[in-house]
């Protein structure tokens, strides 16, 4: 070990915070994983992971080592050297909701000491670290950022389920409110990852994260709209995408789907759009258009299902619909912002009986307002009993051969199934 282990507090034990906690404990830091969700804390203490990128055996080993302690007790934050804030930053009525950052700042400020370092990882609009987090820490502690304690921003770049690009080998952006803060932030993350990339300020780092996600959001909206038009024109959009992907330059592959999900794409570009309008009074038209197109996809899927049933002589009302997948991304348990629940709500509002299967998403960690579909196992009888099956999330755990064999009608939003008379593609 070529560094002095530090006492690290990570506020928020979700898909970002828990992964960071495991890595920090693995390299030798003393880590407290602070989490207000009592259900999560119980699972963590029992060594039961709810994040696919953190195997339960890794979590159990970290807890047993004593280097990782999950807690919901504010006292556990005392004595930290480095505090990472990895809380959610949702939207409320289309406006950035930073109350979780504000609450985390007050918790951390109560234990702030000279020489400590605070880093925000949550995705947010440019200026949050210096204009919101810093002043909250200063006013609550009486200390000054950059003088008494270090303050920085390092946006998360975690891609759930990606075994090729992980927390360790993905370049980590780092920034600070001054030179001393940048040095401390970079030194700490240098103990966790293979490579850090420093930018000149926290605003640039905050904008970089929004740029990355807005790029994806806009391009997904492009192929989603293309898929809708191609269906009306009776053109195979998936074949066109495959063909375009053969071009070795000037093109990146994006595929259509039932809507965007996770914390990032449905939310982050709007943070940038809001900031542009709030500060400059201008509209970020690309983001607004992408928001509209991607948000419309669950309704479009329901419209296609309605049409598909009609051609088979069945009305949507009274039909049994089976959703395959609730997570927003294949082979993960992340159901944040997933289009599956929106599809279910639209189907139920039109009188359909909706069931859902997902081997990854846990009922106890699903918000109560989203637990409307009856959960079932995928069996031949369940498939035969469905008037329509919608493949929403293409988990590897699903037996696609069985789906093709027994489902009378499948609407495949991911182009995962083999072509057949009972399979219709988005």
Q: Which residues are catalytic?
A: 264
How would you classify the pairing of strands 388-391 and 410-412?
parallel
Q: Determine which helix (DSSP H) or strand (DSSP E) holds 86, and give its type and residue range.
A: none
- Max intra-chain CA distance, the chain: 72
Tell me which residue has tokens 């030179």: 179
Cβ atoms of residues 316 and 351 within 8 Å = yes
Q: Say which residues have a Cβ less than 8 Å from residue 311's Cβ, sequence separation at least 6.
A: none
The values of phi and psi at residue 256, to 5°, are -70, 165
CA-CA distance, 375 to 290, in Å (whole number)? 32
- C-alpha 416: how far from chain center: 22
DSSP, collapsed to helix, strand or coil, labels residue 354 as strand
Cβ atoms of residues 151 and 118 within 8 Å = yes
- C-alpha 244: how far from chain center: 28
Alpha-carbon separation of residue 225 from 246, 251, 296 (angstroms) = 21, 18, 10
Q: What is the number of H-type helices and E-type strands within the chain? A: 14, 16
3-state SS record for 257-297: CCCCCCCCCCCHHHHHHHHHHHHHCCCCHHHHHHHHHHHHH
Positive or negative: CA dihedral 283, 287, 289, 294: negative
């Amino acid at each position: 070990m070529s560094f002095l282990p530090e006492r690290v507090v990570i506020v928020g034990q979700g898909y970002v915070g828990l992964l960071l906690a495991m890595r920090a404990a693995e390299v030798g830091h003393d880590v407290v994983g602070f989490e207000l969700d009592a259900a999560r804390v119980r699972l963590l203490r029992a060594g039961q992971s709810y994040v696919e990128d953190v195997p339960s055996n890794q979590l159990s080993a970290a807890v047993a080592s004593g280097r990782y302690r999950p807690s919901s007790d504010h006292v556990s934050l005392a004595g930290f050297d480095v505090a990472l804030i990895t809380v959610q930053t949702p939207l409320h009525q289309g406006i950035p909701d930073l109350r979780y950052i504000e609450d985390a700042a007050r918790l951390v400020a109560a234990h702030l000491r000279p020489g400590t370092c605070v880093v925000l990882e949550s995705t947010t609009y440019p200026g949050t670290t210096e204009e919101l987090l810093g002043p909250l820490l200063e006013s609550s502690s009486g200390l000054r950022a950059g003088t008494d304690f270090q303050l920085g921003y390092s946006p998360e770049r975690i891609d759930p389920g990606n075994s090729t690009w992980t927390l360790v080998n993905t370049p980590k952006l780092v920034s600070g409110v001054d030179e001393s803060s940048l040095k401390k932030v970079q030194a700490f993350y240098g103990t966790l990852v293979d490579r850090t990339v420093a930018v000149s300020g926290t605003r640039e780092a905050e904008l970089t994260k929004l740029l990355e996600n807005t790029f994806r959001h806009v391009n997904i909206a492009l192929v989603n709209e293309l898929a809708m038009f191609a269906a009306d024109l009776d053109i195979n959009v998936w074949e066109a995408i495959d063909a375009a992907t053969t071009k070795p330059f000037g093109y990146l592959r994006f595929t259509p789907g039932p809507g965007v999900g996770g914390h990032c794409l449905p939310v982050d570009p709007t943070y940038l759009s809001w900031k542009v309008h709030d500060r400059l009074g201008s509209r970020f038209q690309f983001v607004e258009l992408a928001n509209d197109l991607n948000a419309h996809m669950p309704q479009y899927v329901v419209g296609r299902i309605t049409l598909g049933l009609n051609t088979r002589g069945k009305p949507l009302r009274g039909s049994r619909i089976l959703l395959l997948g609730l997570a927003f991304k294949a082979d993960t348990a992340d159901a944040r912002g997933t289009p599956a629940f929106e599809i279910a709500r639209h189907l139920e509002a039109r009188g359909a009986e909706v069931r859902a299967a997902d081997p990854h998403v846990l009922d106890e960690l699903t918000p109560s307002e989203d637990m409307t579909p009856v959960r079932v196992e995928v069996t031949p009888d369940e498939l035969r009993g469905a008037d329509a099956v919608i493949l929403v999330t293409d988990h590897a755990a699903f037996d696609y051969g069985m789906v093709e064999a027994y489902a009378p009608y499948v609407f495949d939003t991911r182009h995962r199934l083999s072509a057949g008379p009972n399979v219709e593609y988005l």
